[in-house]
């Protein structure tokens, strides 16, 4: 079973910020929160990850709730190339067989 | 660096045939894994390896074998193909089994008739 819950789809206008939510109410203390995205007909691509603190990189920001039961991926200015399926995943460091349980993700559409 | 490469890109098999999907990485990564992705679904872990000579089962291992004789290569063998194994297969690698990003290959699209 996927340990995370995400909306099936979201829509955004080009050049506007996008907030993609993820709930992970059963997260354990050793689970890192990872985000990947998958463009059509491609393999998944790493976006960002974190444990407790908010994280920023050149692609996005990750905001993690204080109780770690939810997180939000923030794309600061959506472009057409950001249209993809976004996966929120928990990476268990104490159970490698349960690593990277992918749910169906959120399909992001970006409108010009 | 070529990253993670997979061959073939496409394959059609008849029920009962066997084949090996190849995966190689040139990043000296210890951790490698195989996933399958069915239409409209997320990825499911088949097998993984934390280093040469060490493999273990993931969520959906039945019907598949793996071995890891070198750091670079992690082939996936289908023993007796079934239509239920029609899927897109992705190989991935990361620096170690710790908290590192995974790099995914382009995928192999397999159809079993």
Convert the pLDDT of each residue in A6-50 to its tens digit: 999 999 999 999 999 999 998 888 888 999 999 988 999 999 999
Structure-token match 């098999």, residue found: B13
Measured between beta carbons, the chain A residues lying within 8 angstroms of B33 are 99-100
Say what the pLDDT of residue B97 is: 73
Inter-chain touch B57–A97, beta carbons under 8 Å: yes
3-class state of residue B29 by DSSP: coil
Token representation of residue B69 = 């004789």
Whole-number Å distance between alpha carbons of A100 and B58: 10
Decide if A92 touches B, using CB distance below 8 A.
Answer: no
Quick check: B107 and B10 in contact, CB under 8 A?
Answer: no
* pLDDT tops 60 at residue A2: no
Say what the pLDDT of residue B21 is: 98
Handedness of CA A94, B24, B47, A107 (dihedral sign): positive
Whole-number Å distance between alpha carbons of B27 and B92: 11
Say what the pLDDT of residue A19 is: 98
Say what the pLDDT of residue A98 is: 53
SS3 assignment for A52-100: CCCEECCCCEEEECCCCCEEEEEECCCCHHHCEEEEEEEEECCCHHHCC
Across A40-61, average pLDDT: 93
Nearest CA in chain B to A100: B45
Report chain A's terminal Cα–Cα distance, integer Å.
Answer: 36
Kind and range of the H or E run holding B3: none
Inter-chain touch B103–A46, beta carbons under 8 Å: yes
* pLDDT tops 80 at residue A97: no
pLDDT grade, residue A1 (50/70/90)? very low
Token representation of residue A1 = 């079973």
pLDDT grade, residue A95 (50/70/90)? low
- Per-residue pLDDT tens over the stretch B13-63: 999 999 999 999 999 999 999 999 998 788 999 999 999 999 999 889 999
Decide if A55 touches B, using CB distance below 8 A.
Answer: no
Residues of chain B whose C-beta is under 8 A from some C-beta in A? 4, 31, 33, 35, 40-45, 48, 50, 56-59, 90, 92, 97-99, 101-107
Whole-number Å distance between alpha carbons of A55 and B99: 15
Mean pLDDT of chain B: 93
pLDDT grade, residue A94 (50/70/90)? low
Quick check: A54 and A64 in contact, CB under 8 A?
Answer: yes
Decide if A37 touches B, using CB distance below 8 A.
Answer: no
Whole-number Å distance between alpha carbons of B59 and B63: 12
Decide if A7 touches B, using CB distance below 8 A.
Answer: no
Higher pLDDT, B46 or A98: B46
Burial of B16 (0-12, 13-18, 19+ CB in 10 A): exposed
Cα dist from A21 to A18, B31, B56, B104, whole Å: 10, 29, 32, 24
Structure-token match 């239920």, residue found: B84
User: Shortest CB distance from B48 goes to which of A2, A34, A96?
Assistant: A96
Across B74-80, average pLDDT: 97
Say what the pLDDT of residue B63 is: 96
Decide if A97 touches B, using CB distance below 8 A.
Answer: yes
Decide if A32 touches B, using CB distance below 8 A.
Answer: yes
């Amino acid at each position: 079973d996927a340990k995370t819950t995400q909306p099936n789809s979201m829509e955004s206008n080009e050049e506007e910020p996008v907030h993609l939510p993820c709930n992970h109410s059963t997260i354990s203390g050793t689970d890192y929160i990872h985000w990947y995205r998958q463009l059509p007909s491609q393999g998944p691509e790493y976006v960002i990850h974190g444990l407790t603190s908010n994280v920023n990189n050149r692609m996005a920001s990750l905001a993690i709730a204080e109780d770690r039961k939810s997180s939000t991926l923030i794309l600061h200015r959506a472009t057409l190339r950001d249209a993809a399926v976004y996966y929120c995943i928990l990476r268990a460091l104490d159970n490698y067989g349960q690593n990277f349980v992918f749910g169906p993700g959120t399909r992001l559409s970006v409108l010009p | 660096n070529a990253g993670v490469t997979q061959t073939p890109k496409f394959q059609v098999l008849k029920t009962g045939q066997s084949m090996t999907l190849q995966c190689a990485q040139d990043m000296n990564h210890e951790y490698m894994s195989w996933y399958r992705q069915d239409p409209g679904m997320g990825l499911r872990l088949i097998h993984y390896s934390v280093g040469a000579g060490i493999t273990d089962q993931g969520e959906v291992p039945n019907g598949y074998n793996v071995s890891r004789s070198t750091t670079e290569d992690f082939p996936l063998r289908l023993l007796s193909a079934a239509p239920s194994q029609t899927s897109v297969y992705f190989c991935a690698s990361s620096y170690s089994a710790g908290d590192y990003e995974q790099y995914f290959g382009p995928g192999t699209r397999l159809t079993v008739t």
